[in-house]
Amino acid sequence: MFAATSLVVLSCGDDSAGDGASSNDEIAAIVDDLNDYWSQADDDLGFDYEPVPLERVGTAADGLTCSLEPIEAEEVADNAFVDPSCSEGITVAYDPAYLGESLARAEATMAHEWGHVIQAQAADLDISNDPDGLPIDAELQADCFAGAWAAERAEADIERLRTDTAKAGDEGEVDIEDPHAHGTPEDRTAAFDVGLDGGPAACVNELLDTLPG
């Protein structure tokens, strides 16, 4: 499955901030909150956000399809992704076991994926489309958009989200030109903080100055 930048969109990680497992109802509430946030924040970015219907967010067990092809469980094992090319509409698929490890994991992952939803709906805002842009730029911008959303949370929740974002960073040294690179833990939290402090517009206008490379 592919994002607007034609790369596989993953939210990888090994650990979670142990704040209790998330449920399907909690994930649905996260989706509703993200849709509500971006329906208001889109003015800051100059585009008209279209909420993603809850039926386009789910798992293999939910019978989720993309252009009538079923999304198999192995496609999202330990991950989540956004595919804007599906004939049924933008699709957000996730591994329920991965997101179910904690509420922070579910929130951090879905907020990141919603960054890719924004890129899909407003491709001109995707900084990886800059002439010198790299796939990793799209991933870090998604973290930045997640930080903008997180600014609405309580301080303790923000710190849990930052922790889970860091834990989802690439392990070891990863070439920033690797199409699967998402950024080191430090890169990812730095991008998150740009959105947290500056809002959605900073993720378009300021983030490139903070990115690796």
Which residues form the domain of 87? Answer: 24-210
pLDDT at 179 over 60: yes
The answer to which of 9-13, 44-48, 109-113, 209-213 has the lowest mean pLDDT is 9-13
Distant-in-sequence, close-in-space partners of 204: CB < 8 Å, separation ≥ 6: 45, 125, 127, 141
Q: Is residue 199 part of a domain?
A: yes
pLDDT band at 22 (very low <50, low <70, confident <90, very high): low
The answer to whether position 16 is within a domain reads: no
User: Taking the model in full, what pTM does it have?
Assistant: 0.87
* pLDDT exceeds cutoff 50 at 3: no
Residue 19 forms part of a structural domain = no
Asked if the structure places residue 3 within a domain, the reply is no
Judged against a pLDDT cut of 80, whether residue 189 lies above it is answered with yes
Count Cβ atoms within 10 A of the Cβ of residue 61 and give its class: 0-12 exposed, 13-18 middle, 19 or more buried.
exposed
Q: Is residue 121 part of a domain?
A: yes
| Residue 1 pLDDT > 50 | no
Reply yes or no on whether the pLDDT at 14 is more than 90: no
> Quick check: is 2 in a domain?
no
In the chain, what is the greatest distance between 2 CA atoms, to the nearest angstrom? 43
pLDDT per residue as tens digits for the range 53-72: 999 999 988 999 999 999 99
Residues 65, 71 contacting (CB under 8 angstroms): yes
Residue 17 lies in a domain: no
pLDDT of residue 209: 84
pLDDT on residue 21 = 58
Q: Which of 8-22, 81-95, 154-168 has the highest mean pLDDT?
A: 81-95
CB 82 within 8 A of CB 120: yes
- β-pair partners for 57: 92
Query: Residue 6 pLDDT > 50, yes or no?
Result: no
Q: What is the C-alpha to C-alpha distance for residues 40 and 162, in angstroms, rounded to an integer?
A: 23
pLDDT at 180 (0 to 100): 79
Instruction: Tell me how far apart the alpha carbons of residues 51 and 49 are, in angstroms, rounded to a whole number.
Output: 6
Q: How far from chain centre, in Å, is Cα 31?
A: 12
Grade residue 213 by pLDDT with cuts at 50, 70 and 90.
low
Tokens of residue 77, six digits? 């094992």
Average pLDDT on 184-213 reads 90
Name the domain count of the chain.
1
Round to whole Å and give the CA distance between 65 and 86. Answer: 8
Per-residue model confidence (pLDDT) at position 24: 83
